[in-house]
């Protein structure tokens, strides 16, 4: 069965860990795209211009292939990896954690650093609100004004959300449906638009008075 639900955090959260004079400040963010990292990092560099290290990790998507861990000058594997480990431990995705270190003058060693970055990240996630979210697919519908009433009635389907609409000489509506229910929902929509039974409609059926284009996610 196709999985389209995932756990993430509802809003940014923070955590802190101190060890031998060094201070580790962790910031966790909901994340939708890799480009979000630049904004997170720029904001924290403005707030903490004198910090020694800005280490981070993030995970995106459901397949586990879109992730990154960065040590930012700390010994290899002592910062980004333990940060990423906490994202995995909490079962999250679409999350970025940045941990800023203020050096306290005493070296912590590899094991000390791993523990510190882990605990700071955990502290940030412990204070976060965890939520379940879903993946959606969008479709662009284009149709003539004379078909507007019939089409808008069909779009009252409880599994369809209208996210945008334009009513002019040529009308358009953008809808979204849950990824896991996409085939059944679009199949049902076509049947409603054509006033046919579900058995009379296939995936190849075309609604000639309403162009339906699936948008890339």
Domain tally for the chain? 2
What pTM value is reported for the model?
A: 0.78
pLDDT surpasses 60 at 1: no
Q: What is the pLDDT of residues 154-180, one digit of tens each?
A: 999 999 999 999 988 789 999 999 999
User: Could you tell me if 55 and 120 lie in one domain?
Assistant: yes
pLDDT at 169: 76
**Beta bridge partner(s), residue 141:** 173, 212
pLDDT at 168: 80
Q: What is the pLDDT of residues 13-35, one digit of tens each?
A: 999 999 999 999 999 999 999 99
Phi/psi at 66 (5° precision): -110, 90
* Mean pLDDT (whole number) for 90-94: 96
Choose the final residue of a domain: 97, 117, 133.
133
User: Could you tell me if 13 and 101 lie in one domain?
Assistant: yes
User: In CATH, what number is assigned to the domain containing residue 180?
Assistant: 3.30.70.240
Q: Are 32 and 82 in contact (CB under 8 A)?
A: no
User: Could you tell me if 97 and 159 lie in one domain?
Assistant: no
Q: Are 189 and 10 in contact (CB under 8 A)?
A: no
* Mean pLDDT (whole number) for 199-214: 94
User: Could you tell me if 57 and 163 lie in one domain?
Assistant: no
pLDDT surpasses 60 at 195: yes
User: Could you tell me if 123 and 159 lie in one domain?
Assistant: no
User: In CATH, what number is assigned to the domain containing residue 127?
Assistant: 3.30.230.30
Which domain does 22 fall in, by range? 5-133
Tokens of 5: 């639900």
């Amino acid at each position: 069965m196709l999985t389209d639900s995932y756990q993430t955090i509802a809003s940014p959260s923070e955590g802190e860990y101190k060890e031998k004079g060094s201070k580790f400040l962790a910031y966790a963010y909901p994340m939708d795209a890799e480009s979000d990292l630049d904004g997170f990092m720029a904001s924290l560099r403005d707030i903490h211009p004198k910090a020694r290290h800005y280490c981070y990790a993030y995970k995106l998507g459901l397949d586990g292939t879109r992730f990154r861990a960065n040590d930012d000058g700390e010994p290899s594997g002592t910062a980004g990896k333990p940060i990423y480990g906490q994202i995995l431990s909490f079962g999250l995705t679409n999350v970025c954690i940045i941990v800023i270190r203020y050096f306290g003058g005493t070296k912590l060693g590899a094991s000390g650093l791993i523990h510190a970055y882990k605990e700071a990240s955990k502290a940030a996630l412990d204070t976060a609100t965890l939520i379940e979210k879903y993946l959606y697919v969008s479709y662009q519908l284009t149709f003539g004004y004379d078909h507007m009433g019939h089409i808008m009635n069909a779009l009252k389907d409880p599994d369809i959300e209208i996210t945008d609409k334009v009513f002019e000489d040529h009308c358009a509506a953008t809808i979204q449906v849950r990824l896991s229910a996409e085939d059944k929902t679009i199949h049902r929509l076509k049947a409603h638009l054509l006033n046919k039974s579900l058995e009379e409609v296939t995936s190849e059926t075309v609604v000639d008075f309403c162009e339906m284009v699936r948008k890339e996610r």
